[in-house]
Chain A
Amino acid sequence: MKPVLEVLDLVKQYPGVRAVDGVSFEIAAGSCFGLLGPNGAGKTTTVEIMEGVTEPTAGRVLYHGEPLGKRFRDEAGIQFQKTALQEFLTVRETLQMFRRLYPRGRDVDELIVLCALEQVVDRDNRKLSGGQLQRLLLAIALVNDPQVLFLDEPTTGLDPQARHNFWDLIRAIKAEQRTVLLTTHYMEEAYFLCDVVAIMDHGRIIAEGPPSRLLKEHFDDVVLELPRDEFRVDPAKFPLPVLTAADRVEILTADVEQALRALLDHGVPLRHLRIRPRNLEDLFLELTGRELRT
């Protein structure tokens, strides 16, 4: 199937920093594509070039095989990472204003129900909670009934309930065969929503594919988790690599039986042992490193 969006050799050079350094990928119709990466990896710049609000230094973005133009503007829905809205306007008035900017789109009342805004429809924008504001921004992104939806870190700062509520909304939109591009810091979110993810670092894509395939390609081991106070062994003397966290230790192994034998040999109680497969967060940290980004 022909891709909805094609990103070809994208480069964005700012004075002293190459924010995007030769990025290429495609997004298939009806799929959810996740762009992951640490702070400063170049995700937002890449997305903004794809949205047509930032000019690339080099490279192209094609929508249905054509450069971004009127069709793209009419058919794209965008939720920026940070968007201030007009003051003194209610939720309904804000939606009505954005709705009038498009020739076609969804009914405002329908959007209010879809994004669960019924309770706050007459409330001033400035008096919305974080979750309510994110749902309003999503509703604004949906006013033109978009074929392709850009969501840049839509759940950052939300509490778990609000985040899960937001995921349900995105899944409902995906069920309507819309194409979604999502950037996020939450690996669980990407795993839950995305058909394909691309991990970016230092302006480049360092891994791309369906999450389950990426995990299979990069990991053949599992993680054995034990409470730290029950693992009374010097990690240097243990035959397998041991990762020490605040309250637990993690042992990485492809041979569970051997690991269990080693634990029993060292007299480690197995009462609270947990075995889990490697997840997207492990992959993310493995590929991008554990040092803090600013």
Chain B
Amino acid sequence: MNPRRLFAVWHARNLEFLRDRSTLVFNFVLPLALVVAFAVIFGGQPRNLMDIGVITAPGATLDAGLHPFLGTRYVDFHRVEAADLDAAIRAVERHQSALLLDLRGAPGYWVNADSPNGYLAEKLLLASARDAVRQPVSGAAVGYVDWLLPGILGMNMMFSCLFGVGYVVVRYRKSGFLRRLSATPVTALEFGAAQILSRLALTVSVTTLVYAVLALLVPFRNDGSVFLLFATAVLGAICMISLGFMVAARFSSEELANGFINLVSWPMMLLSGVWFSLESAPPWLRMAAETLPLTQMLQAARAIMLDGAGILDVLPRLATLLAMTAVFLGIAAAGFRWRAA
């Protein structure tokens, strides 16, 4: 690895990106506009529908026959599996769920007294279940914007990483620029490292800038370390750039590369918890989501920002990101081609 050659390719790629104003503006403006729009739509006001989790004995149906309280109108009752009890209690702590009702035996419930919805839900419950056992929890509200912000920033990083490397490398190959480079002393490793580092610097800079601007525009919650969050973003970006590089290792058709990048980006956008939590999704779907780098990055980021998680809490996810990076780069190195087929 020759640092001078790596710098040459890295620097040229940076100039190319920074001067491509339309792409640069798009990278910056899209996440900003999305978060601000969601803040305007959802910000401040509690949602009309009250959400209450219910744990029952296996096979029981959620209706007034099981308990009169379940017949209350304008309330969204959803079933909580016993295995997901901790997550459901956390939702009550964060005000995401108004109340968690346990109907497996004598009625009991968890409620956050600081939550307006929790207060109302408790009054309604006690009207029909006066002897229900109260288990108070506490915690500040997590607004939808608090929850959504890491998702939108992560999604923007994902598109920037996948297309910014994948599409560009395929374009270089198709145009013959890669073939020209192959006739110089630059190695595939130096070329790949330059592309990854260039895109990493640009993606992390843009994300940091958007994060800072949003902190001024839309106050949001971050209970954890900013440095740990930054490290998570860096590792997540490296992993997704490597995935983009792997997809681009051989193709010389932009259309084909586009298709493959969409093939990996859409499942991440839908399954990695960008827009909604997968906590109530079937276990197999959650297992599948765990194999996606964006899931790993977002789960770690949300744990840091919403729960104040420390390095030991998110270490397994960061290690998973590193392992995925190694696999993607290994496959990319084995399959890399300088010239079009």
Binding site for B on A (CB under 8 A): 51-53, 70, 73-74, 76, 78, 80, 82-89, 93-94, 96-103, 140
**A80 B176 Cβ-Cβ under 8 A:** yes
State whether the Cβ of B20 lies closer than 8 Å to any Cβ in chain A.
Answer: yes
Residues on A with C-beta less than 8 A from B8 are: 96-101
**B19 A84 Cβ-Cβ under 8 A:** no
Which 3 pairs from chain A and chain B are nearest by CB? A84-B175, A100-B8, A88-B19
**A76 B20 Cβ-Cβ under 8 A:** no
Q: Considering the complex, which residues of chain B in the window 131-177 have a beta carbon less than 8 Å from any beta carbon of chain A?
A: 172, 175-177
**B20 A87 Cβ-Cβ under 8 A:** yes
Binding site for A on B (CB under 8 A): 4-5, 7-9, 11-13, 15-16, 19-20, 172, 175-177, 179-186, 338-339
**B177 A85 Cβ-Cβ under 8 A:** yes
Residues on B with C-beta less than 8 A from A89 are: 12, 15-16
Q: Beyond A80-B176, A101-B181: 17 further Cβ-contacts under 8 Å?
A: A51-B183, A53-B183, A74-B185, A80-B180, A82-B176, A83-B177, A83-B179, A86-B172, A88-B20, A93-B12, A94-B12, A97-B8, A97-B12, A101-B5, A101-B9, A101-B184, A101-B186
Q: Measured between alpha carbons, how far is A101 from B5 in the docked complex, in Å?
A: 5
- In the complex, which residue of chain A has the Cβ closest to the Cβ of B4? A100
Residues on B with C-beta less than 8 A from A86 are: 12-13, 16, 172, 177
List 30 A–B pairs whose Cβ atoms lie within 8 Å, in order of A's numbering.
A51-B183, A52-B183, A53-B182, A53-B339, A70-B185, A73-B185, A78-B183, A80-B176, A80-B179, A80-B180, A83-B177, A83-B180, A84-B176, A86-B12, A86-B13, A86-B16, A86-B177, A87-B16, A87-B20, A88-B15, A88-B20, A89-B12, A93-B15, A94-B12, A96-B8, A98-B8, A98-B184, A100-B4, A100-B8, A140-B180
**B183 A76 Cβ-Cβ under 8 A:** yes
Residues on B with C-beta less than 8 A from A51 are: 183
Q: Measured between alpha carbons, how far is A87 from B22 in the docked complex, in Å?
A: 14
- In the complex, which residue of chain B has the Cβ closest to the Cβ of A98? B184
Residues on A with C-beta less than 8 A from B182 are: 53
- In the complex, which residue of chain B has the Cβ closest to the Cβ of A74? B185
Q: Measured between alpha carbons, how far is A89 from B16 in the docked complex, in Å?
A: 6
In-complex Cβ contact of B5 among A52, A94, A100 (8 A): A100
Q: Measured between alpha carbons, how far is A66 from B5 in the docked complex, in Å?
A: 25
Residues on A with C-beta less than 8 A from B9 are: 97, 101
**B176 A100 Cβ-Cβ under 8 A:** no
Q: Measured between alpha carbons, how far is A74 from B183 in the docked complex, in Å?
A: 10
- In the complex, which residue of chain B has the Cβ closest to the Cβ of A93? B15
